[in-house]
């Protein structure tokens, strides 16, 4: 079995501030190392569970965060932008499952560290009326390839969100958020143990024919992006086929998940 580890940074062990995830800030160097260690724990767990291959997708900012020289040498790294699947760089139907490491809750979530969706310009992403964050969107991309989301790591609010989309997903909670910039963080020694055990269990369940099914939604897909400011919706609504559906909102209906992801990404890129 092959596993893809899709990783982000805001849900990494100890991260509570944007500065921790900002490549221009001195604190970033500490937390990119921590991100590498969280990912290594997941790689270790995957191999302990019996997988043959692990690929990693570095999904934060420009996809250049993980320290390749400190990564478990059994894993391969998909990094850099602008890859077709962005945070899911490398995904295809050959994978047996995806781990989401260092993920965060969607924009607007209470008691969730650095909760956002794609950028801080976005109030909401909705698909067919349902609010969706980065976990849900990326799990849908995996699902389009018939690949299930097997585990997540992040704070407890991310875990709650992931369980709403994938009821039997395994969750490694590395911090308990009590605010946007605050929470009780567990030590790396503890979180790496949790991530490793969770990853190993998720792979074992998958190999035994248990565990989550690929996440799917019924087509067609009405994608709505709600921005923080009306001028962002003005420029985003220049996308052919889209419609201005509110002061802050633009909507477009597309036939499949790749088009839904591309539409959401393009609308966000058009907003200035
Ligand atoms: Zn990120």
Q: Over the stretch 158-177, which tens digit does the pLDDT of each residue have?
A: 999 999 999 999 999 999 99
Judgement on whether residues 165 and 233 belong to the same structural domain of the protein: no
pLDDT of residue 272: 82
Q: What is the mean pLDDT of the chain?
A: 97
List the shell of residues around ion ligand 1, using CB closer than 5 Å. 8-9, 60
* Host domain of residue 187: 2-123+131-207
DSSP SS3 for 131: strand
**Residue that is last in its domain, among 173, 207, 241:** 207
**Quick check: 235 pLDDT over 90?**
yes
How many domains does the chain fold into?
2
Distance 102 CA to ligand 1 centre (A): 8
Judgement on whether residues 226 and 95 belong to the same structural domain of the protein: no
**Residue that is last in its domain, among 162, 185, 207:** 207
pLDDT of residue 24: 96
Judgement on whether residues 157 and 266 belong to the same structural domain of the protein: no
DSSP state letter for 254: E
pLDDT of residue 30: 98
Residue 184 host element (H or E): strand 183-185
Q: Is residue 159 part of a domain?
A: yes
Judgement on whether residues 84 and 172 belong to the same structural domain of the protein: yes
Q: Is residue 243 part of a domain?
A: yes
Judgement on whether residues 229 and 115 belong to the same structural domain of the protein: no
225-229-235 Cα angle (round to 5): 65
Judgement on whether residues 14 and 39 belong to the same structural domain of the protein: yes
Token code pair at residue 7: 């990783």
pLDDT of residue 84: 86
Find the mean pLDDT for residues 231-246.
97
Q: Over the stretch 3-42, which tens digit does the pLDDT of each residue have?
A: 999 999 999 999 999 999 999 999 999 999 999 999 999 9
pLDDT of residue 82: 79
Judgement on whether residues 257 and 145 belong to the same structural domain of the protein: no
**Quick check: 259 pLDDT over 90?**
yes
Distance 63 CA to ligand 1 centre (A): 9
Q: Is residue 227 part of a domain?
A: yes
Judgement on whether residues 88 and 19 belong to the same structural domain of the protein: yes
**Quick check: 225 pLDDT over 90?**
yes
d(CA 249, CA 230): 8
Q: Is residue 215 part of a domain?
A: no
Distance 207 CA to ligand 1 centre (A): 30
Find the mean pLDDT for residues 252-267.
96
Q: Is residue 213 part of a domain?
A: no
Judgement on whether residues 113 and 234 belong to the same structural domain of the protein: no
Find the mean pLDDT for residues 46-61.
97
Judgement on whether residues 135 and 249 belong to the same structural domain of the protein: no
pLDDT band at 83 (very low <50, low <70, confident <90, very high): confident
Q: Is residue 214 part of a domain?
A: no
Judgement on whether residues 119 and 253 belong to the same structural domain of the protein: no
Judgement on whether residues 141 and 251 belong to the same structural domain of the protein: no
Q: Is residue 212 part of a domain?
A: no
Distance 46 CA to ligand 1 centre (A): 23
Distance 178 CA to ligand 1 centre (A): 19
Q: Which long-range contacts (CB under 8 A, 24 or more apart) does 164-171 make?
A: 165/135, 165/136, 165/139, 165/215, 166/139, 166/212, 166/215, 167/212, 168/211, 168/212, 169/212, 170/198, 170/201, 170/202, 170/205, 170/211, 171/198
Q: Over the stretch 107-163, which tens digit does the pLDDT of each residue have?
A: 999 999 999 999 989 999 999 999 999 999 999 999 999 999 999 999 999 999 999
Q: Is residue 216 part of a domain?
A: no
Distance 13 CA to ligand 1 centre (A): 13
**Catalytic residue ranges:** 116
Percent of the chain with pLDDT over 90: 98
């Amino acid at each position: 079995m092959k596993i893809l580890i899709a990783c982000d940074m805001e849900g990494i062990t100890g991260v509570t501030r944007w500065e921790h995830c900002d490549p221009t800030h001195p604190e970033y160097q500490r937390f990119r190392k921590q991100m590498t260690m969280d990912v290594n724990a997941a790689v270790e767990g995957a191999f302990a569970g019996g997988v043959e291959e692990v690929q990693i997708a570095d999904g934060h900012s420009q996809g250049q965060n993980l320290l390749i020289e400190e990564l478990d040498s059994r894993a391969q790294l998909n990094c850099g932008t602008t890859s077709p699947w962005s945070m899911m760089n490398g995904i295809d139907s050959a994978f047996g499952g995806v781990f989401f490491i260092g993920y965060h809750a969607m924009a607007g979530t209470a008691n969730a560290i650095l909760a956002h969706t794609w950028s801080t310009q976005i109030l909401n992403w909705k698909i067919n009326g349902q609010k969706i964050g980065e976990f849900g969107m990326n799990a849908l991309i995996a699902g389009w390839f018939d690949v299930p989301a097997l585990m997540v790591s992040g704070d407890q609010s991310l875990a709650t969100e992931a369980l709403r989309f994938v009821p039997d997903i395994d969750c490694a909670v590395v911090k308990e958020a009590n605010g946007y910039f605050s929470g009780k963080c567990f030590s790396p020694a503890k979180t790496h143990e949790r991530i490793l055990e969770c990853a190993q269990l998720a792979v074992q369940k998958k190999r035994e024919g248990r565990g989550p099914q690929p996440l799917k939604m019924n087509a067609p897909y009405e994608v709505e992006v709600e921005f923080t400011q009306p001028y962002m919706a003005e420029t985003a609504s220049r996308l052919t086929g889209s419609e201005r559906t509110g002061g802050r909102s633009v909507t477009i209906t597309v036939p499949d998940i790749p088009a839904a992801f591309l539409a959401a990404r393009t609308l966000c890129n058009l907003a200035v």
